[in-house]
Structure 1
Amino acid sequence: MLKLHELQKKLVAEGNLPFLIRERSNLFYLLGFRGSAGLLLVFPEEAIFICDGRYSVQAREEVPQEITVKEYREKPLLLINELLKERGQKTLLVEESLPIGMVKKLEEQGISVNVAPPFLASLRSRKSDAELAKILKAVEISEQAFLETLPLLKVGVRERDIALELDYKMRLGGAEELAFPTIVAFGERSALPHASPGKWALKEGDWVLIDWGARVEGYCADMTRTLCFGASDTQFEELFEAVFEAQKRAQAILTEGVEAGKVDEAARSLLKEKGWGEYFVHGLGHGVGVEVHEEPRLAPQSEVVLKSGMVLTIEPGVYLPGKGGIRLENLFFLDKENLRKLNNLPERI
């Protein structure tokens, strides 16, 4: 309930307006509700969870008892309108992602609909001790599964075989599900930052990129390692050292109060100096929590000021079409005292 109370304080500051929440990740974050559909209508001093008959029992089991649960039969937006009228409200804040069709139906009922400020993105970006503990458990399970899968890398094994085995071992180790679809890419396919594992077989000298993470009690892990199978070539060693140095340079300035864009630039400028800047084709990192990609984003020109309590990835990469790619991704917790690396695997595997 603490998270919900923090949100309600923000609503008071916003003029005591009610806020309609539909995103599954936000419903889980605020209530612990794991169903696939529901609506949370938050007023400054109360909150009402709205669902259909499929979820009414589940909602009463998962949603805190202080929250009123209302079941609708046909049209939830009519119920929302009634609840607003009962409280003398004509204006409603909504998530930016609310479908335009729902917005129109609300407006047809005489409700003024405004997109809410990023209340929840701000709250979710800073993790409590309990949230951090869940992320750490997800990291532990992910790393153990990786170590158990690594010996299976042999000539002829397919990308999808390694991905399936890694997924299985994460589940076996205690993951409730995957944080995201596991990426395993061999050889020149490692130059695809988000490659889908396929039938491609491992060959001697291939670069191997693996990006994976477990989800535990609703919270994610995310990490990437790249290795050269067999004897490494000169270009792999050169690129690996450049990416590793970029990782360390960004890590050195990742402190409370720094702008996210400056952390990105620290790594990006190093790769430019080495002549690989044009092959770093994505942002440096992102927040991790209930979703594997959350605010803040460590990206060029981002002016977001980093704060204590954030869990962030740093993941510089260089991707050479026709040859291969190298990405190193670590997970960090930012607090007032220092920067804490959450994963324990060495960068060089």
Structure 2
Amino acid sequence: MKVAVYAICKNEARFAARWMASMGEADGVYVLDTGSTDGTAERLRALGAVVAVEEIIPWRFDAARNRSLALVPEDADICVCTDLDEVFRPGWRAALEGAWGPDTVQASYRYTWSFRPDGREDTVFWSEKIHSRQGWRWVHPVHEVLERLPGFPPGGKAAAPGVQLDHHPDPSKSRGQYLPLLELSVEEAPGDDRNTHYLGREYLYYGRWDDCIRTLKRHLSLPSAVWADERCASMRYIARALVQKGEKAEARRWLWRAVGEAPHLREPWLELAWQLYESGEWDGVAYLCRAALSIETRPQTYICEGWAWGSLPWDLLSIGLYRTGRRAEALEAARQALALEPDNARIRRNVELLGG
């Protein structure tokens, strides 16, 4: 079985050696450099990669991904798309080959998108950027995804749990190009629910509260917007924008809607618990945190946010219990929070004050 890695890059020489070492289990590495000025292409070639240099004008990620995929030899069996700020943990190839069956055309694998300052995992989900050589193209100017070409059998998707890819991004890199590209994505495909959701979220990041609310309400109205997890996230983001506008009562109504949309997720319960915490409604805080903690299986989608699976739910629960006179239960919750974040001095003080 022939495995090929392919990627796009620009001015990432500092990542080249680490990335190439990580991708070394592949039979070949193919990179499209889109205009580096720091010697990235030369560094990658010296380390054994096949590198082509081509500027993509106007810039869009799907066009660049498709050009990089075209570099992969036609006889490759498995194509692995990564970025230079990502690192596979050793043994990924054997795990991938073990999961790949005769009818497999795509594989999903565990992806750590972010880490906490202490090195522990933060946001984790399963990604799907490993695929067969034939019958695929990348679509959308940003937040690009693989699309199966017409005329090719759909094939099967395999889970490859032994494959772990870690993301270690450059914090100085700007995401300024994302907003105009997302606006272009929605202009090109106004009925695409996924990119409409992403655009509303991007407006939230930019503090454009009214644009955020308008766009996410439109997302919720689209006939194709049926995935409860993403609908719930749109409702939570609407609530965040409303809070920024000073409309806390309306924000709370949207958070209750979010809970109803996806009660199987921790995030809506905890965002609502936080709002009740800020208004001193302690019984509600305790109830909502317990509801969140009753969800014990972490989802495998990108919607899952790291803070919902760290110390926060136990920490808020401890405070809610303490404020309602349940000191012994509060101590146990505080201990659970401290176990998840042992270096948090405030939580440690809470444990000590509660008698622990």
- Settle same-fold status: TM greater than 0.5: no
* TM-score, normalisation: structure 1: 0.29
What TM-score, normalized by structure 2, do the two folds share?
0.28
Larger strand percent? 1
Higher relative contact order (CA 8 A, sep 6+): 1
